Amino acid sequence: MSLVYQIPRKALWWLLIAQAAVILPLLQHLPSWLILVWTVCVAWRVQIVRGVYDAPKAMVKVPLALSMVVALIMSFGKLFALEPLVALLLLTFLLKLLELQSQRDVLLLLLLGFFVGSTQLLFSTSILAFLYAVFSFTLLLSAFMALHTATESKSLWQSLKKSSLIILQAVPLAVLMFFIMPRIGSLWTVPLSSGAGKTGFSDSMAPGNISQLNKDYSPAFRVDFADKKSPPQRELYWRGISLSAFDGRRWEISPQDRDPRHRYRRLRQQQQRFTQQWQEDFTNYRQQQGVPYVDYELMMEPSFQPWLFSMATAQVALKDVVSTNDYLFLRDSPVAQRLLYRVRSYPQFLREPEDLSRGQNFVNTQLPRGFNPRTRELVESWRQEGSSDRQIIARALRWFQGEFTYSLQDTSLAAENPVDDFLFNRQRGYCEHFSSAFVVMMRAADIPARVVLGYQGGQWNDDEKYLLVTQADAHAWAEVWLPDTGWQRVDPTNAVAPERIELGFREYIEQASAASETNGFAELRQAPWLAQMQMRLDALNYSWQSWVLSYDQEQQLIFFQKVLGGDEHWRIVAALMASATLVLAILGLWLWWRARPLPPPPELLPWLQLEQKLQRAGWQRNPAETAQQFAERIAAEKPELAGILKRYTQLAYKLLYLPANTEQQDAIVQQLRRLRNSLRL
């Protein structure tokens, strides 16, 4: 005889609800046809439960599963990336619904649910996503409870209530474990999200790149200054990469440096062998007394690029990072997770003031032949008029200031000679146009110059005292090399629209769009209340990130040293044990308190006292015996007690049926006490 396993109905409902909760946040990252698969699986399961359909046979199941996997590979084009693997897991989770033949299958499905439910955090690490994951865990636990409770629970909500309670009680210990359990780094490399690189800027600059970013208010990084004060906006130039190669249209990293991994290895090897001149200069400068510097911690959102951001001229404390000869920082792998690093910037340090190496000089003055002839002509004519380097720079900036306008409207430049087109026809544009044109002009005058990409400004959050830099703050400016002062920042945008630099991008947009509706600023403007709410939310996010998301080995070490006074194993184990014991003891006490024996009702007390007295003398009432039977049994053995026991039993019975708190009751209780005392055993 084979019994067909029936899932408890409540467990099935909870299972379906929990599954829906687990799947929902993942669907936005995965192919939409999975929704269809899910619907079909749920419908089929419901029909099986109603007895309409049979459970699918192996002949149906196997081809179904295989075709799904093939469909998955076709949708993604590959299998070994994060999304396809998560999708595969999800698919298993869905198809298992068709195969629930024993309690074990249901259990497996639920356990899979915990795992699938946690994968959504690979795509989003916001507070909401986390709370949602905890919520879906609560639903899964409810299903667990419904599955394992043999007696009928009163209602569907009973198990939800209980599972929420268990989760709440589990939180303190989980928090302890989170902070104290030792962290070890990644054990092996894992496939990363293929959605990488959709935000942040790329390693080249063509007209239009940055204006795309300016519509994006998502955070790029946050800066926590050591003195909790932000330097003035005009000094907040966050350097990311410098672009030296120009093909007439597009700015790029010089060809030999274009592969970041290769470049990282090369630099690392070079710097291991001997200290470069520029590094030595910087070290010597840092060792001088009284040089001004700014200390800050920078928390970077995933950029999926290997560059770090810093203000000139910076020293970054982070392993797996090398500094490049343009005083920038390159990481050995793209920043795929939030990254926190400490920086000390020396704003007054002069970069390579003595001499520029021949290679550097060549790279930073080269211009493609034949492009942008009018620009060359103009600058050469300035040169012929006897202008010095500094005068040429000043002249160019004055020209920008006088004739050009700053605009976010899409300016498509001629494909042939875009710089000529910009400088002589359009004369309106955006930071990338200005910086590109400016550097071309400098190079035409043989002044070494390069484009620097990064962010400018940021928003100061006064509640939490940090600076938020969003993608909208992306900026491009120029650096020129002059003898004696070395590399210097020149921002042509500043000449055209100084407010943009003084106020920061967001403020500037506010004011500019209020002044005029034609600049294309209006669409970028946000309602003030919305902006304020966003700031509040970001402050919350920031705390979340600095406390939870970026808590890594290094932070843990600091935590151990601060709280435990060291990071030896015994301290960690002892701290974990002690705090866990405390937490569990509190919980245990609460459970005990709930189950503590209640005092017996007062009307039963005299009888219980007699029973105690008899027990001491060796008489134990059998559970099945009534008081009277018990008394009679003793009386049979000890006839001399018969009278007292009979009287006592009668009175004790009488007491039970008297109204509470009356004088009569008290009298009987007194009487019983006297009787009890006169009992000699």
Partner 1 sequence: MAVAEQQNKRPLSKAQENKLGQGWVANFRRRIRRWALKRRRAQSAFILDRNNLFIFPTGSGFSLLLVMLLMWLLGTNYDNNLILALAFLLGSILITCILHTHASLAGLKIELMQIQEGFVGDELQVNLRLSGQGKRDYPDVRLFWAGQFPKAVHIEEQEPLRLSLSFTAPRRGSISPPLLCIESRFPLGLLRCWTWLRFDGETLVYPKPVDAGPLPASASSEGSGDSEPVLLEGAEDFSGFHSYRDGESLRHISWKHYAQGKGLFVKDFQAYADEQLWIDWDALPGMDREARLQRLCDWLLHLADGIQPFGMRLPGIEIAPNIGPEHRLHCLRCLASFEAHQLAAIDVDYYLEGGA
Q: Would you count residue 130 as binding partner 1 (CB under 8 A)?
A: yes
Binding mask 576-605 for partner 1 (x = CB under 8 A): ----x---x--xx--xx-xxxxx-------
- Least Cβ distance, residue 342 to partner 1 (angstroms): 18
Measured from the CB atom, is 184 or 415 closer to partner 1?
Answer: 184
**Which member of 548, 573, 577, 578 binds partner 1 (CB under 8 A)?**
548
Residues 148-167 that bind partner 1 (CB under 8 A): 148-153, 162-163, 166-167
Residue 119, interface with partner 1 (CB under 8 A)? yes
Stretch that binds partner 1, among 351-359, 563-571, 621-629, 645-653 (CB under 8 A): 621-629
Contacts 24+ apart (CB under 8 A), 59-65: 61/95, 61/98, 61/99, 64/95, 65/91, 65/95
Q: Which of 172, 71, 20, 60 is nearest to 584 (CA)?
A: 172
| Tokens, residue 252 | 């790029």
DSSP designation for 521: -
Q: Is 190 in the site for partner 1 (CB under 8 A)?
A: yes
Helix (H) or strand (E) holding 403: helix 389-403
Chain center to CA of 314: 27
Sheet holding 204-205, edge to edge: 204-205, 251-252, 245-246
Q: Which residue in the set 38, 137, 477, 560 belongs to the binding site for partner 1 (CB under 8 A)?
A: 137
Q: Do residues 60 and 153 make contact, with C-beta atoms less than 8 angstroms apart?
A: no
Distance from C-alpha of 423 to C-alpha of 426, rounded to nearest angstrom: 7
Smallest distance from partner 1 to CB 211, Å: 33
Alpha helices in 445-596 (DSSP H): 492-496, 498-503, 505-515, 528-544, 553-559, 569-594
From the list 42, 73, 122, 651, which residue makes contact with partner 1 (rule: CB under 8 A)? 122
Environment class of residue 667 by beta-carbon count within 10 Å: exposed (0-12), middle (13-18) or buried (19+)?
exposed
Give the 3-state secondary structure of residue 502: helix
* CA angle (60, 63, 67) in 5-degree steps: 135
Q: How many residues belong to the site for partner 1 (CB under 8 A)?
A: 65
Displacement of CA 389 from its chain's centroid (Å): 48
Given the complex with partner 1, which of 4 and 187 has the nearer CB atom?
187
User: With respect to partner 1, which residue has the nearer C-beta, 130 or 399?
Assistant: 130
CA distance 8 to 629: 46
Toward partner 1, which CB reaches closer, 367 or 583?
583
Q: How far is the CB of 124 from partner 1 (least distance, A)?
A: 9
User: Which residue lies nearer to partner 1 by CB, 302 or 520?
Assistant: 302
Please identify which residue in 20, 24, 63, 183 interacts with partner 1, judged by CB under 8 A.
183
Q: Does 549 bind partner 1 (CB under 8 A)?
A: yes
For the CB of residue 445, give the shortest distance to partner 1 in the complex, in Å: 48
Q: How far is the CB of 288 from partner 1 (least distance, A)?
A: 38
Burial 397-421 (b: 16+ CB within 10 A, else e): bebbeeebebbbeebebeeebbbbb
Interface mask (CB under 8 A) for partner 1, residues 98-117, using x and -? ---------xx--x--xx-x
Which of the ranges 147-155, 418-426, 492-500, 567-575 carries the binding residues for partner 1, by CB under 8 A? 147-155
Closest CB 130 distance from partner 1, rounded Å: 5
Distance CA(349)–CA(190), nearest Å, equals 41
Q: Shortest gap between Cβ of 9 and partner 1 (angstroms)? A: 16
DSSP string, 136-172: HHHHHHHHHHHHH--SPPS-HHHHHHHHHHHHHHHHH
Q: What stretches of 244-372 adopt beta strand conformation (E)? A: 245-246, 251-252, 294-300, 307-308, 314-317, 321-323, 329-331, 339-345
Question: Is residue 9 near partner 1 by the rule CB under 8 A?
Answer: no
Q: Report how far apart, in Å, the C-alpha atoms of 161 and of each of 45, 164, 174, 190 are.
A: 26, 5, 20, 38
> Would you count residue 145 as binding partner 1 (CB under 8 A)?
yes
Amino acid present at 201: F
Min separation Cβ 308 and partner 1, Å: 17
- Secondary structure letter of residue 97 according to DSSP: G
Choose between 527 and 598: whose C-beta lies nearer to partner 1: 598
Q: Which of 51, 623, 639, 659: binder of partner 1 (CB under 8 A)?
A: 623
> Which residues are annotated as catalytic?
431, 475, 491
Strand pairing report for 405-406 and 428-429? parallel
80 binds partner 1 (CB under 8 A): no
Rule CB under 8 A: say whether 337 interacts with partner 1.
Answer: yes
Contact segment (CB under 8 A) with partner 1 among 132-140, 416-424, 469-477, 648-656 equals: 132-140
Q: Give the residue among 501, 524, 454 at the shortest CA–CA distance from 201.
A: 454
262 is an interface residue for partner 1 by CB under 8 A: no
Minimum Å gap between C-beta 79 and partner 1 is: 18
The answer to whether 572 contacts partner 1 (rule: CB under 8 A) is no
Query: Is the CB of 188 or the CB of 657 nearer to partner 1?
Result: 188
Closer to partner 1 at the Cβ: 62 or 177?
Answer: 177
Q: Provide the 8-state DSSP code for 504.
A: -
The verdict on 125 binding partner 1 (CB under 8 A) reads yes
Pick from 185, 232, 290, 639 the residue near partner 1 by CB under 8 A.
185
170 binds partner 1 (CB under 8 A): yes
Closer CB to partner 1, residue 15 or residue 509? 15
* Minimum distance of partner 1 from residue 589's CB (angstroms): 10
User: 604: helix, coil or strand?
Assistant: helix
Residue ranges binding partner 1 (CB under 8 A): 107-108, 111, 114-115, 117-119, 121-122, 125, 129-130, 133-134, 137, 141, 144-145, 147-153, 162-163, 166-167, 169-171, 173-174, 177-178, 181, 183-188, 190, 337, 548-552, 580, 584, 587-588, 591-592, 594-598, 622-624
